[in-house]
Amino acid sequence: MLHASLEPELRAELEARSIMREFADGQIIQQRGDEPDGFWLIVEGTVVAGQFLSGGDFRAVAVLGPGDSYGELAMFSQRPRVVDAVSRGNSWLRYIPASAFLECLARYPASGQALLGALAVQVQDLINLVVDLRRGNATARLALLLGNMAQAVAEDASLPVTQQELAELLGVTRPTANGALRELEALGLVERGYGRLRVCDRHALAKFARD
């Protein structure tokens, strides 16, 4: 996500020095505890970030798609990664090594400033989202979550997220998440599909979440 804040010339240099990798459905891309020696840029497909629990279940915390990047924060902090990442369906990702990133960034001071600004916005947005997700019932919270996720895709595109993942992201049971989805669908705000969800009216969804 922070990758998008960089100057186009810098992004092109980084992508030229990146390593392209293909992952199959369910394949682990990174694990908690891995060394933060670079970050990932999603070219095609969907990646679910979260944590494997002691019993083997996976608890999702984010669903990412083409154009999204992740792993930058661990790279900057030089601390082991705190989330696992799994490919959902086949996916293609670029791995950008930390050494290449830091070397190239030194030649683009404007991108360094833009990166700091993007980091600040990301932290503020996260704080606002966490605060807002503690308010209202499950349906209102789901509307807020879907509205936030829809900002990352084209107007008519579907969100590549399952009902189980939505339940995990909200911290509710799957039946509760399903009930909230049915309510939003009955209002004409969303349309459910297998493993995907389409937001029919972003403005109405945002208004529902606020009200």
pTM: 0.73
Looking at residue 155, its pLDDT comes to: 66
Residue pLDDT, tens place only, 130-148:
666 666 788 888 888 888 7
Looking at residue 146, its pLDDT comes to: 86
Residue pLDDT, tens place only, 67-100:
888 898 899 889 999 999 999 889 999 999 999 9
**Average pLDDT of span 117-124:** 83
CATH value at residue 90: 2.60.120.10
Q: Does the pLDDT of residue 174 top 70, yes or no?
A: yes
Pair (57, 103) in one structural domain:
yes
**Average pLDDT of span 141-157:** 76
Give ∠ CA 118-124-130 in degrees, rounded to 5. Answer: 135
Pair (23, 113) in one structural domain:
yes
Looking at residue 18, its pLDDT comes to: 96
Looking at residue 43, its pLDDT comes to: 94
Give a yes or no: residue 129 inside a domain.
no
Residue pLDDT, tens place only, 20-75:
999 999 999 999 999 999 999 999 998 988 888 887 878 887 888 888 888 988 99
CATH value at residue 155: 1.10.10.10
Give a yes or no: residue 9 inside a domain.
yes
Give a yes or no: residue 143 inside a domain.
yes
How many C-beta atoms lie closer than 10 Å to residue 102's C-beta?
11
DSSP three-state, residue 162: coil
Residues 6+ positions from 4 with CB-CB distance below 8 Å: 67, 69, 118
Residue 53: which H helix or E strand, with range? none
Beta strands in 65-164, from DSSP E residues, in sequence order: 69-70, 84-97, 158-159
Pair (118, 148) in one structural domain:
no
Looking at residue 164, its pLDDT comes to: 86
Beta strands in 31-68, from DSSP E residues, in sequence order: 38-52, 58-64
Question: Is residue 65 within 8 Å of 12, Cβ to Cβ?
Answer: no
Write the DSSP symbol of residue 4. Answer: G
| Distances 34 to 29, 30, 81, 117, 140 between C-alpha atoms, Å | 11, 7, 5, 27, 36
Instruction: Tell me which residue range forms the domain holding 86.
Output: 2-123
> Residue written as tokens 């060394």?
35
| Distances 50 to 58, 63, 157 between C-alpha atoms, Å | 7, 9, 23
Pair (60, 140) in one structural domain:
no
Kindly report the backbone phi and psi dihedral angles of residue 170, in degrees, each rounded to the nearest multiple of 5, phi listed first. Answer: -85, -20
Q: Give the whole-angstrom CA distance, residue 57 versus residue 195.
A: 18
Looking at residue 110, its pLDDT comes to: 93
Structure confidence at residue 152 as a pLDDT band (50, 70, 90): low
Q: Does the pLDDT of residue 157 top 80, yes or no?
A: no
**Average pLDDT of span 156-185:** 86
Candidates 131, 157, 159, 154; CA nearest to 60 is 159
> Residue written as tokens 């990412």?
64
